Structure 1
Amino acid sequence: MVIPLYYIRFFKPPPDVVECNQPFSVVWTIETDLGDESYWQSIPVTCNIASCQDPSVRLRVFSDKTKTKKEVLQPWTKEIKLDYNPMRGGVVCTRLMIESTSANSSLQIVFKLGGKTRRHPVWTYCGLFENNDCLWILPAWTCPIKLMNPTKKSQRVQISLPEPVSSQQAERILTVPGGTVRICEDAFQSIARHVWDCGLGMCSYIFQQTQKGILDFNNKNLIELGSGTALVGIYAAQCSTPSCVYLTDLPEAIEIMEQNVALMPPQNNVEMVVKSLEWGPIPEKTSWLEMPVDIVLLTDVLYNQGSHDVLLDTLDWLVQKQTKILLAYKERNPDERVFFEKLKQRDYQIIQVEEEDLVCEIYWIQKNSYNDL
């Protein structure tokens, strides 16, 4: 059964830097990965400090009615209850303030589904909302917030501090054996700089199969085409120990791929290579692709039918005897499925994975002449 997936998403994230006792606003909603549909029922949501080394830090929330009523939150122990009400347009403005006896610390705040609920083993803090519907609600983390001492002016004079400048990004966090994967994404709508259903579905599949001992990327060379935020390639590198992972996309995605690679733990010894690659016949400059590719990762790359032929051209020169293709696909338009017919015309065999609780379709693909699927 395919379970729908909705995202808590920041329209206006918290600031990257804020003074102690300086109020700030967070504007958020709950919507699909495309942002084309907000969730239509009330949902219990909570926020809390998710990571902070300073035990004196407190988070305050101001009510919509009085703007002064507040709750006190101690790190790690208490969650602040928020209301998601689709009757008010599905967009919520939450006013927060951070208190601390010692500033110059850093923290993150997480917005997630409240209440006792089934949690996903891979998508950290992702909860299964079971009311009239059954759907996953993916949480959103703020980027690290730098907490500063109040300015001398605001200490001397009782003034209302101006609203600090909001961040332009948020984080999604996934669980791997022995650690986590942190992925930054842009708060505004974009194609290459967002986390999508297929990326999360692919990571969940990789986790399940590696835990069962069925899937083994150890000492393999992986390449991801259309990496976007690089979620899948980074997750594969931290879930197993491949020799090298090539992350590729168009030039506009290079910055966020490099940003997310930089968030990987320093003890990870997998070689990560970020490169710009335009799909089509083999380009002249591919000297960076030194070793034969064992696994090609494709995640949500079929939405543009105009790119199907050049994607197939790319696969034709990448695929060798040992190469297998792992594809995660979610139908946006029925016409996209012509890609599978084109694969067969180019002598590829396609096997669909049958697993429970998938949020997308998963396929293994290999050339018939090399087939051992």
Structure 2
Amino acid sequence: MAGPGLGKLQEWRRSTSAWQLRWKVVTRGCSLTSSTMVYYVRFLKSPRIQKHKADSISVSALICLTTDLGDSFLADDVDLAVTLVVDRTNTVLQQRTIRWQAGKRELGISLGPFRPPPSNQAVVLGIGAAGGSTSRSSRPHRQADNLLDRGGVPPVISGWSTPFGGSQPALAEKLVERRFSLQNQPDLRVWEETGNSIARHIWDAALASVICLQRATGGRAPAMPFLQGLLQTKNSNPLNVVELGAGCGIVGIALAELRPRCSVLLTDLPEVHEIVARNIASASPARKSVIDFRTLDWDAEYPEAVCSGEIDLILISDCTYNADSVPSLVRVLDVLVQGSPDAVVLVALKRRHESEAVFFDLMDAAAFGTLDRDTVPLPSSCAGEDPPVENIEVYAFGRRGRTHGGLRPQEKRSHSP
């Protein structure tokens, strides 16, 4: 069943196929570069515990500081805090500061030898910026990256291992946990893989989405009045949310932890199911909020569990980087909004190449208009008084002609700035 803009969308896809092909040739293997980037602690070699004589142990690992895509390494010197704690009790066993030096691609971690924890307990290794944009929660040594700062996304995102040693295997799993402090909430804890799958990683725009949602739920998003009004409705009103291309699920899980009576359905390809299930299991939803996952292939038949029922908010983060998949993405949005014409679509994107502009043209062809627009700045690694600034763009879209709230006259078209 075609929606009000689906015919135009199909026509636009045919007329722009040659244009997209030209852009694939131009941009294949490269992207726009900038000195404003976020860097993530990643384990190149998972932490390992080694036993020595005289009842002592040591811990080793190999890390890097790289971007969300893993296409560049931090080119500045930075001090890193290395902390080894006992699993569950968070008792600190070892703590030291090491330096990541500009030009490096990897950095070895070595702790010990030291006496093992009692009762055959496992340990957890955490690494983050020393004295950086972190905060400590009410629980001791639960250091978390601060997403409350007005400056936006922290420059270095810390990483924590799975438990290892003791009753657990000597080698940690190939996963890394991200911990973020949320306003008046337990730490947001999300696992991602340390391998090469971009589907099971956290991307920069997802962090910007979490910041935007946190501001809106707290009434601190003046640039996003439609989103803020939707999220600040009385808690007695349930909020039905679908996230497309959820990946690890960080955005939808964060909203479920921030907002009571929120039903969040995470969707993505089957390959993310295992990591998403792990993150749902470790989540701490707000009162009467629930989180679920359903497989959704944008190019296959849409499951009824996703398309049926009322939807208030659709979440999308960093899903516009591939111009070939954008028509399928917009087609899914078109179908979902047919049954929920007043739904708000929240899109966060980081411009990686100019071909992403096709997303705005396709949204306009599908009769979506811009309700709100905001930006979340990325930290700069460039010295000087006036370093270049790059922003994550955040948009709230709605179907033109929606019955609640409407569209501003000057924002009827979903144009790319």
TM normalised by structure 1 equals: 0.79
Aligned with residue 23 of structure 1, among 58, 62, 65 = 58
- Alignment partner of 1:277 out of 296, 299, 306: 296
Q: Any conservation in 1 of the 2:376–2:394 contact (CA below 8 Å)?
A: no
Shift in Å, 1:96: 2.4
Alignment of 1:309 with 2:341, yes or no, is no
Deviations 1:306-326 (Å, cap 9, x if unpaired)? 111111111111012220100
SS at match of 2:324: helix
What displacement does 1:144 show? 2.6
Q: Are the structure 2 counterparts of residues 24 and 183 from structure 1 closer, same or farther at C-alpha, using a change threshold of 3 Å?
A: same
Secondary structure of the corresponding residue to residue 224 of structure 1: strand
Tell me which residue corresponds to 1:5.
38
Distance 1:56 1:315 in 2: 47
Q: Aligned partners of 1:50 and 1:210: how far apart in 2?
A: 33
- Per-residue CA deviations over 1:144-200 (Å, capped at 9, x if unaligned) read 335349xxxxxxxxxxxxx94342111001222220121111111211110110111
- Alignment partners' CA distance in 2, 1:185 and 1:208: 24
Give 2:118's match in structure 1, choosing from 102, 105, 117: 102
Q: Which residue number in structure 2 is paired with residue 353 of structure 1?
A: 373
CA contact (8 A) 1:185 1:194 kept: yes
8 Å Cα contact 1:127-1:138 kept in structure 2: no
Q: Matched residues in 1 for 2:75 and 2:164: separation?
A: 31
Other-structure match for 1:71: none
- CA contact under 8 A between 1:113 and 1:139: conserved in structure 2? yes
Give the 3 Å change call, closer, same or farther, for CA 127–208 of structure 1 in structure 2: closer
Tell me how far apart the structure 2 counterparts of residues 181 and 302 of structure 1 sit (CA, whole Å). Answer: 25
User: What is the aligned partner in structure 1 of residue 397 from structure 2?
Assistant: 365
Q: Percent same amino acid among aligned pairs?
A: 24
Kept in 2, the 8 Å contact 1:198–1:300? The answer is: yes
Deviation at 1:126, TM superposition (A): 5.3
Residue 258 of structure 2 contacts residue 285 of structure 2 at CA under 8 Å; is this kept in 1? no
* Equivalent residues of 2:65, 2:73 under 8 A apart: yes
Give 2:176's aligned amino acid: A
Matches within 5 A, 1:1-373: 4-15=37-48, 21-49=56-84, 52=87, 54=89, 58-59=93-94, 79-87=95-103, 89-97=104-112, 99-115=115-131, 117-119=132-134, 124-125=144-145, 136-148=155-167, 164-176=170-182, 177-212=184-219, 215=228, 216=231, 218=235, 219-265=238-284, 269-280=288-299, 283=302, 285-287=303-305, 289-319=307-337, 320-351=340-371, 353-355=373-375, 357=377, 359-370=391-402, 372-373=406-407
Which whole-Å CA distance do the structure 2 matches of 1:289 and 1:317 have between them?
A: 8
**1:160 alignment partner in structure 2:** none
* Contact 2:86–2:92, Cα closer than 8 Å, also in 1: no
The CA distance in 2 between the partners of 1:121 and 1:352, in whole Å, is 33
Kept after mapping to 2: 8 A contact 1:103/1:148? no
1:182 maps to a residue whose letter is R
For 1:33-59, what per-residue CA distance to the aligned partner results, in whole angstroms no more than 9, with x for missing partners? 111111112111111135655587622
Distance of aligned partners of 1:124 and 1:101 in 2 relative to their CA distance in 1, 3 Å threshold? closer
Cα separation, 1, equivalents of 2:38 and 2:289: 31
More helix by share: 2
> Partner of 2:279: helix, strand, or coil?
helix
**Aligned mates of 1:55, 1:301 — CA distance in 2:** 37
Alignment: residue pair count: 331
Structure 2 CA distance for partners of 1:91 and 1:366, relative to 1, 3 Å: same
Structure 1 CA distance, aligned partners of 2:219 and 2:203?
25
Q: What is the distance in 2 between the residues matched to 1:193 and 1:166?
A: 18
RMSD: 3.1
**What 5-or-longer segments of structure 1 have no aligned partner?**
60-78, 129-133, 150-162
Equivalent pair of 1:185/1:229 in contact (CA under 8 Å) = yes
2:260 counterpart letter in structure 1: T
The CA deviation string for residues 5-53 of structure 1, in whole angstroms up to 9 with x for no partner, is 11122111214x7767333321111111111111112111111135655
Residues 91-130 of structure 1: per-residue CA shift (max 9 Å, x gap): 1011224633513324432211113x454799933599xx
2:298 and 2:332 in contact (8 A); partners too: yes
